[in-house]
Amino acid sequence: MKRSIVGGLSVAALVSLTLTACGGDDTGTDPAAGGGGGSDEPVTISLAGWSLSTTPEFQVLADAFHEQNPDVTVEVNEYDATNYDTQMIADLAAGSAPDMYVLKNLLNFFTYQDGGQLMDVSDVAGSLDENTNGLDAYEVDGTTYAVPYRQDSWYVYYNKDLFTAAGVEEPGECWTWDEYAQKAKDLTTALAATGSDAKGTYQHTWQSTVQGFANAQSPDADILGGEYDYLAPYYERSLDLQDSGAQIDYGTVSTNSLTYQSQFGTQKAAMMPMGSWYVATLLAQQESGDADTFAWGIAPAPQLECTGDDPVTFGDPTGIGINPAIDEDEQAAAKEFLSFIGSEEAAQALASIGITPAYSSDAVTEAYFGIEGVPTDELSKYAFGTHDTRPENPVSEHTAAVQGALGDAHSAIMSGSSSVEDGLAAAESEATSELG
């Protein structure tokens, strides 16, 4: 997906966007999409979410929709973020799941769809315009089973103040992984000389932090192909950064349950590769005091080489589907909610808190960069607006199992319990067995 920043964008001209402004007198929904706005009977529908105190997007969508549809209340049910899919699959099987639930990424989409746990929402999808990106990711054999509201992309967040203190030049529009690694080492050394114990960069424990970039950027990479030699250079670089002390080692992060929010937010790292969703969290934590106040920006993902093309990164859409067990008299309201989350109004509400919505338009971009605290330097605008975002998870019955094998390899390699070669060989063996 490629987003475009409008030339000459005037941030100062933006009037502060509020949820009320997203409502107004217009419902903004299409009756053809199955909306039930014609009934005066109050309806309450439930939606699954996670980490509600630090992930405001669910309540923002619920409130903005209720503003337009006062007879419909969306009640957000909180799940554990780490075990979300495990708990959701169990609740769906037990008949206790909410009316609607979020598909965090494409990893388990096939499991939900193939198990008959998603309602056909092709009528809603058909009512949305072409600016709603990612709809095709939820289509199977011509039927659509969810609507995306968010489209994440991975950037590198960086602390401008620490770069200045270290005397290290900030990133540019294109930088290579070798340049990224060198900056991490230079930052660590220079900051130590000032008495700071901040590391040059922070890499969280997720396999995405290594494999996501490798799968998006490596020529002919295919996790369903069963051959993973192309991952080796990415792992060798990460291990070198650990060994040099430029980033905290995997074992320490795991053993101490360190969070990426605290590592970057309290200035323990000058850089951090992370998804675009973190913008909203960082803004909220800086406002609440859970994160330090410092100048920061976002840079494009480092590349294998600078070719002049748009920077390649990765990120799955995040969508919402309807539980087929929903009461019949609530189905229309649920479909109307899905129609809303795919609209420009919902996208503006999300953009106003730092979430990158699936719907893209000039108004959405303007709302995003009109938020107090969002960096408005040219590099941050470029990183947000110009990138080739490729899906992290192919939709397949084999995806979850293969990603599980690659996750095991990631843990073994980063913890040092396996060499890069042996870890990837074990993943290839397990994947080959799964793929048949």
Rounded Cα gap, residues 98 and 337, in angstroms: 14
User: Does the pTM of the predicted model rise above 0.85?
Assistant: no
What tokens does 61 get? 């969508």
What pLDDT, on a 0 to 100 scale, did the predictor assign at position 13? 29
What pLDDT, on a 0 to 100 scale, did the predictor assign at position 56? 87
Tens of pLDDT along the chain (436 residues) come to 444 333 333 222 222 222 222 333 332 333 233 334 445 689 999 999 999 988 889 999 999 999 999 999 999 999 999 899 999 999 999 999 999 999 999 999 999 999 999 999 999 999 999 999 889 999 999 999 999 999 999 999 999 999 999 999 999 999 999 999 999 999 999 999 999 999 999 999 999 999 999 999 999 899 999 999 999 999 999 999 999 999 999 999 999 999 999 999 999 999 999 999 899 889 989 999 999 999 999 999 999 999 999 999 999 999 999 999 999 999 999 999 999 999 999 999 999 998 999 999 999 999 999 999 999 999 999 999 899 999 999 999 999 999 999 999 999 999 999 999 999 999 999 999 999 8
Q: Which residue has the tokens 């108004």?
A: 363
Rounded Cα gap, residues 223 and 300, in angstroms: 24
What pLDDT, on a 0 to 100 scale, did the predictor assign at position 138? 96
Contact 181, 237 (CB under 8 A): yes
Rounded Cα gap, residues 313 and 386, in angstroms: 10
- Angle, helices 399-415 vs 232-244, to 10°: value is 30
Question: Which domains, from first to last, does the chain contain?
Answer: 19-152+315-369 (3.40.190.10), 154-312+392-435 (3.40.190.10)
Rounded Cα gap, residues 210 and 13, in angstroms: 40
3-state secondary structure the chain: CCCCCCCCCCCCCCCCCCHHHHHCCCCCCCHHHCCCCCCCCCEEEEEEEECCCCCCHHHHHHHHHHHHCCCEEEEEEEECCCCHHHHHHHHHHHCCCCCEEEECCCCCHHHHHHCCCCCCCHHHHHHCCCCECCHHHHEECCEECCEEEEECCEEEEEEHHHHHHHCCCCCCCCCEHHHHHHHHHHHHHHHHHCCCCCECCCCCCCCHHHHHHHHHHCCCCCHHHCCCHHHHHHHHHHHHHHHHCCCCCHHHHHHCCCCHHHHHHCCCECEEEEECCHHHHHHHHHHHCCCCCCCEEEECCCECCCCCCCCEEECCEEEEEECCCCCHHHHHHHHHHHHHHCCHHHHHHHHCCCCCECECCHHHHHHHHCCCCCCCCHHHHHHHHCCEEECCCCCCCCHHHHHHHHHHHHHHHHHCCCCHHHHHHHHHHHHHHHHC
What pLDDT, on a 0 to 100 scale, did the predictor assign at position 436? 84
What pLDDT, on a 0 to 100 scale, did the predictor assign at position 40? 65
Q: Which of 94, 134, 142 is nearest to 2 (CA)?
A: 134
Provide the β-strand partners of residue 357.
Answer: 150
Provide the β-strand partners of residue 103.
Answer: 319
What tokens does 286 get? 């800086």
